[in-house]
Chain A
Amino acid sequence: MALSRLASSSSSGSNLLKPLTSALSFTPSLRRPISSAADDSTTLTIETSVPFTSHRCDVPSRTVETTPNELMTFFRDMALMRRMEIAADSLYKAKLIRGFCHLYDGQEAVAIGMEAAITKKDCIITAYRDHCTFLGRGGTLLQIFSELMGRQGGCSKGKGGSMHFYKKDAGFYGGHGIVGAQVPLGCGLAFGQKYSKDETVTFALYGDGAANQGQLFEALNISALWDLPAILVCENNHYGMGTAEWRAAKSPSYYKRGDYVPGLKVDGMDVFAVKQACKFAKEHALKNGPIILEMDTYRYHGHSMSDPGSTYRTRDEISGVRQERDPIERIRKLIFAHDLATEKELKDIEKELRKEVDEAIAKAKESPMPEPSELFTNIYVKGCGAESFGADRKEVRTVLP
């Protein structure tokens, strides 16, 4: 089961997964330890870090099955996300990325675990912290860095920037700037899915800060009323900008806040727990309607690039999470525990990823800026024409291409 899902996800053209497959099958140094310890198809049984807590629903099992291949894939994919976000940080500081930029490092297990449980026919919609979700949906590093730097090669033609990544062919409805606004949209997607009867669901992601927006509750009621296959995923990183969850929420048990809507609390730093929960939620939503997943996670960076991230929380808190709960380190330990790769081999993979990221950045820099005429495109559908006034007060009519 786990295998077939994995196979289907890697054959569905995920660029994210491809390089690993090749690394695993073609790099002898990597293959050896794996085959010596366990065959790729060996089933490993793993306990999730902590039990799930539920609200008005069953609790999924803590025991999950995986394979050496999946473990290595998780390691690689999360390490790639981490590397990518660190690189975005440097690009921003070098002023190559303008606008607002929100990084995901620390939260990688949510994006990866969710993808591992679903297909690209399921929809995902999120807020502005969207780089890694896009990568998880099969977006490429080149598209990401091009978009971040406002180049034509970006996933939104350079017109969206960091907060507005989209990937239609993989059901990624993107990147939204207004906190909370994406959740009702997600319920609309789920309504569409219910009609099409293709057994797909929508994951609508939002933060602990967004959890206090009124429209979230409106959306929940609608989804529950009509049994929509909507899964509301609260990525609880415990801060909405500088505000700790307890300062803003009377009940920070976000998984319970749907009242009549069932919920699960999940360790969002454990990719296996996330995967298990998302699988459970999808089945639940298809049968019974909406469910809330609260992912207990953490962002290492500040809220955005202008926030050092250390005024409203202690450095000890951050380093404590890094040491005890880091999603990548967790997988690294599991890999060692099952003797799937050596320390050096994992370091080599990370080096390889760093190179991959650097190459993508170099390529993205070659992508041209959008044509000025793009300023007037995509406002209305083709042919509407956009009017503007020139400095000489003469009307300028731009006919859309």
Chain B
Amino acid sequence: MGLRRFGRLVKWVGGNGRRPFSTSSSSSCDEMMVQQIASGKSLNLYSAINQALHIALETDPRAYVFGEDVSFGGVFRCTTGLADRFGKQRVFNTPLCEQGIVGFGIGLAAMGNRAVAEIQFADYIFPAFDQIVNEAAKFRYRSGNQFNCGGLTIRSPYGAVGHGGHYHSQSPEAFFCHAPGIKVVIPRSPRQAKGLLLSCIRDPNPVVFFEPKWLYRLSVEEVPEHDYMLPLSEAEEFILENWNCGTQIIREGNDITLVGWGAQLSIMEHACKDAEKEGISCELIDLQTLLPWDKDTVEASVRKTGRLLISHEAPVTGGFGAEISASIVERCFLRLEAPVARVCGLDTPFPLVFEPFYMPNKNKILDAIKSTVNY
């Protein structure tokens, strides 16, 4: 019974992902009710990912999980218990060789398997960059669809943690958004992480899945225990009334559209709340899938609000915000009432001692909201 109800939720979230902006209050209530019935345990982000991996291995005997130290649970405990449960043949440690890990995963996937590779930190994905960009992304195209590595999913923790320094903090998503043929997905919270990761693993295209490591323990919400998938390439709009308990109330904002992904969403959400106190109504969109991204949802929102702010941790120059900005200006030029604002990381290497200056924090976003609205 609860399951069937939950099925509705899945369908609701996944089925017609493009919701009207004027979500009526009754449907919000409906969603809340469904969620309360369907909600499972309170989980943090790494446990939600762990659950997704359990389900992926459980539901597909040809799924494999591998990477540096994953059979011991990995640095962030995301793979805890998998080796015990599914055996060393399916969950295994690799040597320290990122290029090898990804190349191996491509081959494994090309043989019709689901290869879930972990790169320990997104900062260490670069030795594998060639395999991802030149092999994984182009395999289907250049073989005229004879071959593909659609079963490949690369998971990797990205982003700041407060004091990670140069090589444990970077957000390299934009590099991968320049490689047609792969998908790039970033979840913002445990519930999204589980549903999106399952979609990525089962998606017939190679996917790079970046996990906001700052939130592994910090972000806790009710996560359905069930096997569910969230759609890729469909942005989700929401304003979280209560982030911590995970109650999502989708509500429209009228004055400005904010677009972000991953850990940045919670920062933006706080800025939205502060802006609201000053009478500015913000619409917040979690892009979730960066490649290929949901232009329609963002466009529709900007057509309504007339203003756009994008925020990400990666340096502003050449960041994915630039792509969003350009596309929206192309589509909504005459509707825009202010230049598109980008509140991003600074154009510096990720710093060790200056992290607070580098980060696109709440106050920077709030200031940008105000100056965009008052333009």
Does B20 belong to the interface (CB within 8 Å)? no
Verify B93–A311 contact, CB threshold 8 A: no
Verify A99–B165 contact, CB threshold 8 A: yes
Verify A387–B69 contact, CB threshold 8 A: no
How far, in whole Å, are A249 and B346 apart by their CA atoms in the complex? 40
Verify B96–A99 contact, CB threshold 8 A: no
| A99 neighbours in B (Cβ, 8 Å) | 163-165, 168, 352
Q: Which residue of B lies closest to A128 (CB)?
A: B167
Verify A391–B165 contact, CB threshold 8 A: no
| A242 neighbours in B (Cβ, 8 Å) | 69, 72
How far, in whole Å, are A180 and B95 apart by their CA atoms in the complex? 12
Does B327 belong to the interface (CB within 8 Å)? no
Does B100 belong to the interface (CB within 8 Å)? yes
Most central of B95, B96, B348 by chain A CB within 10 Å: B96
How far, in whole Å, are A212 and B98 apart by their CA atoms in the complex? 10
How far, in whole Å, are A331 and B347 apart by their CA atoms in the complex? 50
State how many residues of chain A have any CB contact under 8 Å with chain B: 43
Verify B351–A159 contact, CB threshold 8 A: yes
Verify B352–A212 contact, CB threshold 8 A: no
How far, in whole Å, are A341 and B353 apart by their CA atoms in the complex? 45
Does A111 belong to the interface (CB within 8 Å)? no
Verify B341–A249 contact, CB threshold 8 A: no
Selected from B69, B100, B354, B368, the residue in CB contact (under 8 A) with A391 is B368
Verify A243–B69 contact, CB threshold 8 A: yes
Among the stretches B146-154, B184-192, B235-243, B356-364, the one at the interface with A is B356-364
Verify B165–A163 contact, CB threshold 8 A: yes
Prevailing SS type, chain B contact patch: loop
Selected from A150, A240, A386, the residue in CB contact (under 8 A) with B96 is A240
Verify B351–A375 contact, CB threshold 8 A: yes
- A6 vs chain B, min Cβ distance (A): 37
Q: Which residue of A lies closest to B340 (CB)?
A: A393
- A246 vs chain B, min Cβ distance (A): 11
Verify B93–A243 contact, CB threshold 8 A: yes
Selected from B168, B346, B353, the residue in CB contact (under 8 A) with A150 is B353
Verify A150–B339 contact, CB threshold 8 A: no
Asked whether A100 and B164 contact (CB < 8 A) given A214-B100, A379-B348, A386-B348, the answer is: yes
How far, in whole Å, are A374 and B127 apart by their CA atoms in the complex? 29
- B171 vs chain A, min Cβ distance (A): 16
| B19 neighbours in A (Cβ, 8 Å) | none
| B347 neighbours in A (Cβ, 8 Å) | 379, 386-388
Selected from B316, B357, B363, the residue in CB contact (under 8 A) with A389 is B316
Residues A244-271 near B (CB distance < 8 A): 247-249
| A100 neighbours in B (Cβ, 8 Å) | 164-165, 167-168
Verify A215–B127 contact, CB threshold 8 A: yes
Does A68 belong to the interface (CB within 8 Å)? no
Does B371 belong to the interface (CB within 8 Å)? yes
Asked whether A369 and B353 contact (CB < 8 A) given A99-B164, A178-B127, the answer is: yes
| B93 neighbours in A (Cβ, 8 Å) | 243, 247-248
| A214 neighbours in B (Cβ, 8 Å) | 97, 99-100, 127
Does A28 belong to the interface (CB within 8 Å)? no
Q: Which residue of B lies closest to A396 (CB)?
A: B346
Does A38 belong to the interface (CB within 8 Å)? no
Verify B348–A150 contact, CB threshold 8 A: no
How far, in whole Å, are A103 and B133 apart by their CA atoms in the complex? 36
| A392 neighbours in B (Cβ, 8 Å) | 367-368, 371
Does B281 belong to the interface (CB within 8 Å)? no
Q: Which residue of B lies closest to A244 (CB)?
A: B93
Does A299 belong to the interface (CB within 8 Å)? no
Verify B167–A243 contact, CB threshold 8 A: no
Verify A312–B72 contact, CB threshold 8 A: yes
Does A280 belong to the interface (CB within 8 Å)? no
Residues B331-375 near A (CB distance < 8 A): 339, 341-344, 346-349, 351-354, 357-358, 363-365, 367-368, 371-372
Asked whether A393 and B341 contact (CB < 8 A) given A375-B346, A375-B348, the answer is: yes
5 more contacts with CB within 8 A, not counting A214-B127, A370-B354, are A212-B95, A312-B72, A372-B357, A389-B343, A389-B344
Q: Could you name 24 residue pairs across A and B whose Cβ atoms are closer than 8 Å? A: A100-B165, A160-B166, A161-B166, A161-B353, A209-B96, A212-B97, A213-B97, A214-B99, A214-B127, A248-B93, A248-B95, A311-B72, A375-B351, A376-B348, A379-B347, A387-B317, A389-B343, A391-B365, A391-B367, A391-B368, A392-B368, A392-B371, A393-B371, A393-B372
Identify the 10 closest CB pairs spanning chains A and B, nearest first: A391-B367, A177-B167, A98-B163, A212-B95, A99-B165, A248-B95, A150-B353, A209-B96, A375-B354, A391-B364
